[in-house]
Amino acid sequence: MDKPLISRRLVDSDGSLAEAASGAPKVGILGTGDFARSLATRLVRSGFSVVVGSRNPKRTAGLFPSAAQVVFQAEAVESSEVIFVAVFREHYSSLCGLSGQLAGKILVDVSNPTEQEHLQLRESNAEYLAALFPTCTVVKAFNVISAWTLQAGPRDGNRQVPICSDQPEAKRVVSELAHAMGFTPVDVGSLAAAWEVEARPLHLFPSWKVPVLLALGLFVFFYAYNLTRDVLQPYVREGKSKFYKLPLSVVNTSLPCVAYVLLSLVYLPGVLAAALQLWRGTKYSRFPDWLDHWLQHRKQIGLLSFFCAALHALYSMCLPLRISYRYDLVNLALKQVLTNKSHLWVEENVWRMEIYLSLGVLALGTLSLLAVTSLPSIANSLNWREFSFVQELWVF
């Protein structure tokens, strides 16, 4: 995993097989922060020769791996064709003095805006850099990678690095670089995509926030209701203490209610949307925003409904494991012996439970098939007709 992968030639403009003179290819880094240092560490380990440009090389040299050269910015820029710009957006303009030396080179923008910057500025950092240095080719890359992942090498989680640029050749060069560093470059198009690429590390499960809060709220509501009905009321009215039901029984009766309500919320927006289209008489106008958001969150709501149903199944299967279940059974047998001594059987109760359990298992089995098709890799292997077919199963 970590062995030096010396990508001997980076820029291969004439397509020939000539080797670069200096052995390992040179890569420049502008910046001396945490990210710059981790980047230098990773590049050195991947077999590159790294030149770091600093405004004060003497002071900062100690922070970098010893194999990396730390020199003045102008010098670093001169000796390498690919230069990582690892400085904050507000300091981009401070690099303008180097624009002469930078002309014709590839600048890799690795920066990440804060959430506020991203929303206020509406222009990506990469496009701003491209505007400042019109003679350079700007490539947006590596911004989704943390300093920690860079330093330790890609191991778990996502190895994909979205790369975008207006210049295919520059994109290819940076892709090879990413390959050599152990990441998987993903071409996401022209530099106009940089705004969206810079938004990626800001997300924290954006599509899950509302559905999860909704499910929690529903659970609290139903738990309170069942608590009152099954525990508090018997205690107040008849003085029976059934508080032992709090951790398991009450949770278990609340879960299917949550699951049912969530499942109905999966279908409701589709019905509303169809009604709206019929009323408007066209399918080519946009839905109101609230309905659009609702439609987009159906998958998440459906998966939470499945999660509640699965938990309910688990809890139900734990019921006979309880000591209280065992005591109840023994006491029932005791009562039967002491009072009427006859065979115990109520046909109606038996049937009700058998049918309920059988349908429950079937429903859970079907829901788990649906949940499996929500996995990205399965969804990608289905065509549109198959995906619709599976999704329509939810209706029945």
> Which one among 349, 392, 395, 396 touches a second copy, defined by CB under 8 A?
349
Spell out the SS3 assignment of 139-194.
EECCCCCCHHHHHHCCCCCCCEEEEEECCHHHHHHHHHHHHHCCCEEEECCCHHHH
C-beta of 215: minimal distance to a second copy in Å? Answer: 13
Q: What is the dihedral of CA 122, 126, 132, 133, to 10 degrees?
A: -160
Interface with a second copy, residue 283, by CB under 8 A: yes
Interface with a second copy, residue 105, by CB under 8 A: no
Instruction: Tell me which residues in 205-224 interact with a second copy (CB under 8 A).
Output: 205
Spell out the SS3 assignment of 218-280.
HHHHHHHHHHHHHHHHHHHHHCCCCHHHHHHHHHHHHHHHHHHHHHHHHHHHHHHHHHHHHHH
Interface with a second copy, residue 380, by CB under 8 A: yes
- Which of 90/247 has CB closer to a second copy? 247
**Residue 107 burial (10 A CB sphere; 0-12, 13-18, 19+):** buried
C-beta of 296: minimal distance to a second copy in Å? Answer: 6
C-beta of 228: minimal distance to a second copy in Å? Answer: 19
> Which one among 22, 237, 365, 395 touches a second copy, defined by CB under 8 A?
365
Structure tokens belonging to residue 377: 């890799």
Closest by CA to 108, choosing from 55, 145, 57, 75, is 145
Instruction: Tell me which residues in 60-99 interact with a second copy (CB under 8 A).
Output: 63, 65
C-beta of 273: minimal distance to a second copy in Å? Answer: 10
Instruction: Tell me which residues in 16-45 interact with a second copy (CB under 8 A).
Output: 17, 37, 41
String marking each residue 310-329 x if it binds a second copy according to CB under 8 A: xx-xxxxxxxxxxxx-xx-x
Q: What is the dihedral of CA 375, 376, 382, 383, to 10 degrees?
A: 140
C-beta of 20: minimal distance to a second copy in Å? Answer: 11
- Which of 268/355 has CB closer to a second copy? 355
String marking each residue 113-142 x if it binds a second copy according to CB under 8 A: -----------------x---x--x-----
Stretch of 49-57, 80-88, 229-237, 303-311 contacting a second copy, by CB under 8 A: 303-311
Distance CA 141, CA 185 (A): 9
Interface with a second copy, residue 290, by CB under 8 A: no
Side chain identity, residue 331: N
- Which of 221/307 has CB closer to a second copy? 307
Closest by CA to 31, choosing from 90, 117, 116, is 90
C-beta of 183: minimal distance to a second copy in Å? Answer: 11
